[in-house]
Amino acid sequence: MKNKKLSQKLEEIRRKIDSIDFQIRELIAQRIQLLYDIKKIKTKLRMEVYDEKRELEIIDKAIEHAKQLGIDPEFAQSLTRVLINYARRKEHLLHRQYKPRVKTKRKKLLVAILGPRGTFTEEAARYYFTDTIELKSFLTIPEIFNAVEEEKVEHGVVAVENSLEGSIGITLDSLLETNAKIYGEIVLPIIHCLAAKPNAKFENIKTIISHPQALAQTHQFLKGRFPRAELKQSPSTAEAAKSVAEGFTKDIAAICSKTAARLYGLKTLAESIQDGENFTRFIVLSKTGQKRVKNSKTSVVFGLKSNRPGELYRALGEFAARNINLTKIESRPSKRALGDYFFFVDMEGYVREPIIEEALRSLEKKVAFLKVLGSYPKAEY
């Protein structure tokens, strides 16, 4: 009789928990709708949509409230960041902030992406192009560059840098080594999840597979929850999801997008496992350059004539002397000798603007070589 009452009490508590969980989900949905309402108002007022100061205030309030309620402040902070990240992700998926740049009269545009289906590169490609596009998957980034250069496709989309892990070296190398031009750019929030077969259990996972960048972007999660797991590399996050789905063991999981997890019939074991704010910048490639548009960026790469003191300073001085704003400066080993570097530079402005042309002409006289990688519309995010 006592056990029966305890069982009834247990079921009653579970029903209350289910009810609370239901209310939480409804409130999250309401929160996302309110954020979208704010976005519409800010757009009409021509205000910046994202407000970092406001987000930090929300997190600080969550921490203080958690202390009052006796909840772990770190948990409250993490939960609030998850809500912010999810809202951003949802807003990008349903209400793109930037305007698509490419229009075509053709029925379909052939675009190369890192495959298979379900990669973040595919998401970036679908964000950028307005028309129905036909996607052609490749296993490596150099293959995408080659397909664009050989005109097997009209465009390619590749990742070039990440807010957590920095630049993608193979992309920079390919920009230097091929004649493919940067035609556009997209910045997307990257939300990783841990996915496995439907009958897999979180605590039984022994092997985790994903793209090297995804493994690096989830380092803290892996270190804290799977310190003994074997980590394996895959050509892409979607390929990792596909290999898990096609495998026969239940102790292996993939780090991928929720889209890829659904696409390959996997169960999500953990969501939003990336180490903090995680955005990736993708570039659109083309054999030819982009026409002049407002808010353009220009990307170049150059090598110095020598390692004399002040050589780089004098080179960059050509931009400073003309008040040209540089948005990125990065060195990359030339692979010719230790200590020899190439320098990748992004700047505001279109390559055919007189002041940009003048700066590049002067720079070309001071450096060993100079290559314009492209002028293109700056992404809004």
Using DSSP's 3-state secondary structure scheme, residue 188 falls into: strand
* Catalytic option among 171, 237, 280, 298: 280
Using DSSP's 3-state secondary structure scheme, residue 156 falls into: strand
* Residue type (1 letter), 24: I
Interatomic CA distance for residues 163 and 249, integer angstroms: 34
Interatomic CA distance for residues 124 and 113, integer angstroms: 9
How many CB atoms lie under 10 A from the CB of residue 50?
Answer: 13
ω into 116 cis (within 30 of 0): yes
Interatomic CA distance for residues 208 and 253, integer angstroms: 5
C-alpha to C-alpha distances, 5 to 1, 8, 10, 11, 12, nearest whole angstrom = 6, 5, 9, 10, 10
* Catalytic option among 129, 145, 226, 282: 282
280 carries an active-site annotation? yes
Per the CB < 8 A criterion, the answer to whether 76 and 66 are in contact is yes
Interatomic CA distance for residues 268 and 258, integer angstroms: 7
121 carries an active-site annotation? no
Interatomic CA distance for residues 97 and 92, integer angstroms: 7
Interatomic CA distance for residues 329 and 347, integer angstroms: 9
252: left (phi over 0), alpha (psi -120 to 50) or beta: beta
Give, for 138, the enclosing helix (H) or strand (E). strand 133-138
CA 144 to chain centre: 18
Annotated catalytic sites, by residue?
280, 282
